[in-house]
Amino acid sequence: MKKLDKRLFRMIKNTKGQYFAVLSIIITGIFVFTAVSNSALNLKDSLNDYYKKTNFADIFVSAMGLPEKIESSLIGQADIKEAEARLVFDTSFITEEDDEKVNVRVVSINKNENKINKLFIKSGKRELTEKDIIIIEQFALARNIHVGEQIKIQINGKQYKFNVSGIASSSEYAYIMENEQTLLPDPENFGIVYIEDNYLRQIYGSKGNYNEILIKINNENNLVQTKDFLEDALDKYGVKRVIKKDEQLSHSMLSQEIEGLEMMSQSVPYVFLIFAGIMLSSMLSRIVKKDRTSIGILKALGYQSSEIISHYLKYAASVGIVGGLLGSIIGSALSGAMTNYYLVFFNIPTLTIKVYYNRIVVSVILSCIFCIISGYWGVKGITKINPSESMKPESPKKGKRIFIENIKFVWNNVTFSWKMVLRSIFREKKKFAFIGAAVAITCGMMIMTIWMIDVMDAMFNRQYTEFMKMQYNISFSGFQNENIKKEVAKYINPKDMEGRIELPFEIENGRNSKIVNIIGLDKNTEFYGFQDMKGNSLKVPEDGILISSNLANNLHAKVGDEVLIKNFIPNKDDRYVKVRGIIKQSLGINGYMNIDYLNDKLLDREIINGIYLNSDDDVQEKLKDIKNISSIQSQADMRGAFEEFTTITAISMGFMVMFSGLLGFVIVYSMTLMSINERTLEFSSLRVMGFSKKEIFYMLIRENMIMSFIGIIIGIPLGLWLVDYMGKSFTTDVYTMNEPVRTNSIVVSIILTIVFLSLAQFMTYAKIHKLDFMQALKNRIS
């Protein structure tokens, strides 16, 4: 082994504290990069493989009534390769508990095999007879249903028994959402079941018609043209909506999750690597300064500057290689657990966990290059060291007054120890800026993390208490006369009850359009609390439409604009209506109109397709036998699902808090250690002057306290910027993250930042306590 290489190992041993500090930051950064990017790749590859195996649809069409021969008439037109019609509706699942209301979505399928959105059978058989049923896996697991058991489903007011012949997964429902407003999966109270096509149409009474058709096309580049063709060609059948693959609820949620993971893997690791690089550069610069005499001797012995620089760069490269290797191995190992975490929400039976060796290689190379570049920036001064001059002490920097010394009435009232603290801060501006930046990043990330916890809580709590105030949302199997409210009132004692219309329409504003549910409400509705973006209350207007903020963003619409509402109901005209207000809505994307105005302009008078209801009665039990009710959704059930979700979210946010705190802790701790090593002679002199070790420690605390205070002040606007960036980046059609940051969230973030910084400070006390100050004075250069 070369002499310089032996010296390298001694150098690592002598600086092991700083070495492991930098190493821990790099390991953390690479770990996040590897774990998150691997999870995103696992999820994306598995999803694409699943879609390919199950022949996932490119376009979903829902309509009022589609004839049996519609499939063959479409194939070959507008690039359509395959078409498959089906009957889909929501109904009640009969349980042994009288007060329990469970809904299922019933889907008709061919008795042997469906061509599009094929089922992935997990147990049992795929073939169906009239009395057989296949249940989606999430629902079966949640309700402990097994193959061979019997279940009951209510269809058109009658109960039917079915034998569970199979349990399956579906690419269409990898993420089960009942609708855009629910957001969270609730597999215990909502599931998907599949019944043989002919038998289901017979008992449902659909007169042989379907209400949905799935489309596969030859070339995905023609998706928009095919969609336009289907809207025109199927208009006479009462098309409700034509949804492209990327707009389908389950796929949209999965895509957004993958995009979020990719965004995190491309941003968060670089924060850690940049700080590790700056720290490594600073550390090597100080090592070179300390080794000035040794470097001069090496040059005098014939070593070239390039060889000595390479010697120090090996130190930097070792940090990069070890950190990159350990970080990528740990990240790869934990990416499996992280990928399995997604099975809580996403049911992908083809989900495979792979070790991406190329990612490990890329991580090591990236880390190594980053460290070598940072290291070179710290050791480039070696070229200026002259062997003869290095034998004598380096000339001290020219001392000068700091600006506070010129303010006599302030400076004269500052104690001696505080004067030393202030001089140290202003004479070590780089260290000051670096620690301040680390604290600012830590505080900013804390604010962002606490805000994400708050925003999830606020979104759901406000959605189901302040925005939507109904206890029950009852849906009918079709349009009903308003008199049905009287029939419902015979079975229960309602405190408040209103009829409503909820129907999909396409809203168009210039070149921008969006298919959304428009909800028709009483003008004095008690079931919604509308507010504009400034928090002012809004009422349902006599005419025109209120639109949610995310719909306004999609359409680029503002108050006063006239938008076109395109009607999917046969023989009904499209209408222009004026935007009367833009409302703040956390979950879902909707338009809201006066029910009388909606019926008059777009439908027929005095019809509804649902009821909002508040009642102390057991509504789900008392209304279960009413023929025309297709589903009863309880807000209490949704809040229960949310509480389960927040537990998992809290764990994830806890990890983010730890990562944020670790960054500040490691940087402050390592920079303080370097400062102690450099200032040993100074501290020894203070000991001779009568300062205790505790007083010297308090001086260091004061220095870091000032730097931390300024870092926190900078971190607050930085955190607010991160919140704004996250809000804009992660806002989707399904949910809107536009919550303001609360004052107490900022306070909690500052407290957590101070806790992590305090831990770093107290750990340096051990270093101060162990220092041999007398030995430092003996070794001083006279």
Q: Using 50, 70 and 90 to split pLDDT, how confident is the model at 782?
A: very low
Whether the predicted pLDDT of 647 surpasses 60: no
SS (H, E, C) 710-737: HHHHHHHHHHHHHHHHHHHHHCCCCECC
58 & 203 share domain: yes
Going 464 to 466 to 471 to 476, the CA torsion angle's sign is negative
Question: Is 155 a domain residue?
Answer: yes
Tell me how many domains the chain contains: 4
Predicted confidence band at 738 (pLDDT cuts at 50, 70, 90)?
A: confident
Q: Quick check: is 621 in a domain?
A: no
Q: What is the DSSP letter of 778?
A: H
655: CB partners within 8 A, 6+ apart: none
Q: Is residue 476, in this structure, part of any structural domain at all?
A: no
Range of the domain at 61: 53-250
* Residue 188: C-alpha distances to residues 92, 138, 687 (Å): 13, 8, 70
The one-letter amino acid code at 211 reads N
User: Is residue 343 domain-shared with residue 411, that is, in the same domain?
Assistant: no
User: Is 112 a domain residue?
Assistant: yes
Nearest partner of 420 among 443, 393, 390, 399, judged by Cα = 399
| Same domain, residue pair 116 and 234 | yes
pLDDT tens readout for residues 486-497: 888 888 888 889
Calculated CA dihedral for residues 94, 110, 199, 347, nearest 10 degrees: 10
Do residues 125 and 197 both lie within one domain? yes
Packed helices 3-14 and 305-341: angle between N→C axes, nearest 10 degrees: 50
Same domain, residue pair 129 and 243? yes
Other CB atoms within 10 A of residue 705 CB: 16
Answer whether residue 627 is part of any domain: no
Q: Do residues 33 and 80 both lie within one domain?
A: no
Q: How big is the chain, counted in residues?
A: 782
Angle at the Cα of 725 from the Cα atoms of 723 and 731, rounded to 5 degrees? 95
pTM for this prediction: 0.70
Select from 199, 223, 250 the last residue of a domain.
250
User: Which carries the bigger pLDDT value, residue 781 or residue 89?
Assistant: 89
Residues 37, 61 within the same domain: no
pLDDT tens digits, 128-138: 988 899 999 98
Q: What is the dihedral of CA 35, 38, 40, 45, to 10 degrees?
A: -160
Answer yes or no: do 73 and 222 share one domain.
yes
Task: Report helix, strand or coil for 238.
Answer: coil
> pLDDT confidence of 500, banded at 50, 70, 90?
very high
Same domain membership, residue 685 and residue 670 = yes
User: Six-digit token pair at 274?
Assistant: 């940049």
- Give domain status of residue 727, yes or no: yes
Q: Is 779 exposed, middle or buried (0-12, 13-18, 19+ CB in 10 A)?
A: exposed
Cα separation values, 426 from 335, 403, 713, Å: 45, 9, 18
Q: Are residues 183 and 302 in the same domain?
A: no
Instruction: Tell me the pLDDT tens digit for each residue of 216-246.
Output: 999 888 888 998 899 888 888 878 788 888 8
Same domain, residue pair 658 and 776: yes
Q: Express each pLDDT in 377-432 by its tens digit.
A: 888 877 777 776 666 666 666 666 676 777 777 777 777 777 777 777 777 777 77
Residue 489 lies in a domain: no
Instruction: Please report, for residues 308, 311, 364, 454, the alpha-carbon distance to residue 3 in angstroms, rounded to integers and kept in the order given.
Output: 12, 10, 27, 58
Packed helices 429-462 and 693-730: angle between N→C axes, nearest 10 degrees: 50
Q: What is the mean pLDDT of residues 637-643?
A: 64
Nearest by Cα to 417 from 722, 59, 682, 769: 682
Q: Given 198, 232, 250, which residue is the final one in a domain?
A: 250
Hey, is 345 helix, strand or coil? coil
Do residues 526 and 569 both lie within one domain? yes
